Amino acid sequence: APDRPELLQTGPMMAMVEAQLKQHFTVHRLDAPDAEQVLAEAGPRIRAVATGVGSTGGGVRRVTAALMDKLPALEIVSNFGVGYDAVDAEEAGRRGVVVTNTPGVLDDEVADLTIALLLATIRRLPQADRHLRAGKWPSGGFPLSPTLRDRTVGIVGMGRIGKAIGRRLAGFGRPIAYHSRRPAEGVPYAHYPDLIALARDVDALIVIVPGGPETNNMINAEVLEALGPKGVLINVARGSVVDEPALIKALQDGTIASAGLDVFADEPNVPEALIGLDNVVLLPHVASATQVTRDAMGQLVVDNLLAWFAGEPPLTPVPETPVRATV
Ligand code: NDP
């Protein structure tokens, strides 16, 4: 129908998202072979962008100032995922373009996975599984592992997901402390304004801050040194938050004990040096990746767009972008 708004989809998304987008919008694809031609022809009419990895994985096409330059009628960017570091939200804000993400609906799922990864890393579960499958059990039991029992756990980032992780960790009866720029409301754990001091005082560090320039390489050689030889690093935030070469070196030379990683600097490429290490647990960015939670995220991507084009405020705009009362 000619009255349907035109929308640009930056890459593959979940089938349930794509079906609804097609139902309500005229959809153009940035991952089509003739994308540049499509942009040149339809760019001036495009009012919405749908973006994010969805369940498909792989590299994300960034929504940059250069892309927005080609979309002068753009009103809204709906991002699949609570992390929207692939969208230049500040630039969107300057242009009066609303950006939405998918907060809240994935907190419990991501927190569950984080606890699983923490325990898998400390208790060496994938290594034990490999030991059994390799037929090594009859000739020798799996070596005794480190434990969560003697640890203080530090959480870097005490937002929606950090709090959900803290609630779960409290059940394990271990002391918890955290770092964020400002103390978080309503949490009972010790706040460390200084990340190095936190790393020094804990034996496991869980990273769950947003990506982007402000947190780039925040977990650097100095933090890893402070975490120390018994230390375990869990990263479920973004690969950009950890200085990956420094981490590899720290894991190789025993500066820290081990790491559990769901995210990497250059996804889906994972350094061979990490794959070759036995003291790491590596996951392909699956923290929110269950059908139930991905469906909820996908629906929120669609519902933000539908609200906007119905003349209502978007459901979950990010803090950087203005929300105009009327379209
Ligand atoms: P929130 O915005 O609710 O919380 C972010 C937290 O990080 C706040 O406590 C904030 O506190 C802190 N923070 C932000 N910037 C800094 C900084 N420069 N230094 C120290 N602390 C900082 O986000 P969510 O909890 O909803 O999500 C967090 C991130 O987790 C997402 O942005 C996403 O990138 C990642 N994520 C990864 C997933 C995966 O699949 N692996 C799944 C879901 C999320 P303050 O502002 O006071 O510093």
- List average pLDDT for each run of 10 residues in the chain, which is 327 residues long: 88 96 97 93 98 58 94 98 96 96 98 98 98 97 97 98 97 97 97 98 98 97 98 98 98 98 96 98 98 98 98 96 60
Residue 62 is among the residues annotated as catalytic for this protein:
no
Give exposure, 233-257, as e/b (b: 16+ Cβ within 10 Å): bbbbbbbbbbbbebbbebbeeebbb
Q: Annotated catalytic residue: which of 28, 124, 179, 238? A: 238
Provide the whole-model pTM: 0.96
Residue whose CA is at the smallest distance from ligand 1 atom 40: 287
Does any ligand 1 atom lie closer than 6 A to the CB of residue 149?
A: no
How far is ligand 1, taken at its centre, from the CA of residue 119, in Å? 21
Ligand 1 atom index nearest CA of 286? 40
How far is ligand 1, taken at its centre, from the CA of residue 215, in Å? 9
Can you spell out the DSSP letters for 59-79?
PPPPB-HHHHHT-TT--EEEE
Ligand 1 atom index nearest CA of 183? 47
Tell me which of 79, 165, 181 to substitute to probe ligand 1's pocket, judged by most ligand atoms within 8 Å of the beta carbon. 181
- Tracing tokens 């990010």 back to the chain, one arrives at 318
Q: Report d(CA 320, CA 82) in Å as an integer.
A: 14
Compute how many other C-beta atoms are within 10 angstroms of the C-beta atom of residue 186. 6
Q: Say what the pLDDT of residue 61 is.
A: 78
**N residues, the chain:** 327
Q: Say what the pLDDT of residue 218 is.
A: 98
Question: Strand, helix or coil at 84?
Answer: coil
ipTM: 0.99
SS3 letters for 270-305?
Answer: CCHHHHCCCCEEECCCCCCCCHHHHHHHHHHHHHHH
Q: Report d(CA 44, CA 95) in Å as an integer.
A: 15
Ligand 1 atom index nearest CA of 104? 26
Compute how many other C-beta atoms are within 10 angstroms of the C-beta atom of residue 222. 13
- Tracing tokens 């003349």 back to the chain, one arrives at 311
175 prior amide bond cis, ω within 30: no
What element of type H or E holds 99? strand 98-100
Q: Say what the pLDDT of residue 325 is.
A: 44
Q: What is the DSSP letter of 142?
A: P
CA distances from 314 to 54, 76, 175, 216, 307 (A): 20, 9, 39, 29, 6
Q: Say what the pLDDT of residue 3 is.
A: 83
Q: Report d(CA 165, CA 237) in Å as an integer.
A: 13
Residue 267 is among the residues annotated as catalytic for this protein:
yes
Q: What angle do CA 71, 74, 78 make, to 5 degrees?
A: 115
Question: What residue type is 266 in one-letter code?
Answer: D
How far is ligand 1, taken at its centre, from the CA of residue 157, in Å? 5
Tell me which of 208, 281, 285, 290 to substitute to probe ligand 1's pocket, judged by most ligand atoms within 8 Å of the beta carbon. 208
* Residues in contact with 281: Cβ distance below 8 Å, sequence separation at least 6, in sequence order: 117, 120, 121, 125, 126, 258, 259, 260, 261
Strands, sheet with 76-79, edge to edge from the N-terminal-most edge strand = 26-29, 6-9, 46-51, 76-79, 98-100
